[in-house]
Chains A and B, each alone.
Chain A
């Protein structure tokens, strides 16, 4: 059974600081997704990583994938309050990309 573990689960940061969220998964997959969720809202797609070594960046967020280590990271640079949200990684499992196995999420709080 595929397990997806994120850490930390809670992260309180100061504005301007950098930090990394880690996503480990337990079986072979080369499709990894990052989503953002604001409280009570939908999941917003941030990145889709499709191969070993993939790196994508959007604004202050950068995601990478190491399929050999079964690890993805979401790096936050110079955090701002607007980045406060819960971030989920999800791994595509099996023959269908829809069978996404989600991590528990990392609740990020960026304080002034």
Chain B
């Protein structure tokens, strides 16, 4: 158990809908990251927050958004869902955001299936 908690674990929804994925980082970790894992794209970095502020952005679609709250939990919002958004969404956390080489711990992931 990495200490990173994600909910829900599984989610099935229809095209065009909106879902919210939730993440609680490890105790003491200020950085939260979101990654998407799919068979065709592999593991892709979406976005990073540090202590409530966006720090880095990757291949995140405009239909997706995220935020980190004062209690440091984070949410990833996916809207106007398409079949291709079906994937495993990971949240990860680490102590810092600087280029320090801290271990980045991954949660169990949220399986999203769009039908």
**A residues adjacent to B (C-beta < 8 A):** 31, 33, 35, 41-45, 48, 50, 88, 90, 92, 94-105
Contacts and interface: CB of A to CB of B under 8 A. Distances in A.
Nearest to A102: B43
Contacts of B102: 48, 97
Contact of A98 (B2, B42, B44, B55): B55
B101 A50 contact: yes
A99 B104 CA distance: 11
A43 B93 CA distance: 12
A100 B45 CA distance: 7
Contact of A95 (B44, B58, B99): B99
9 contacts: A41-B108, A44-B106, A45-B106, A94-B56, A96-B48, A97-B96, A102-B43, A102-B44, A105-B42
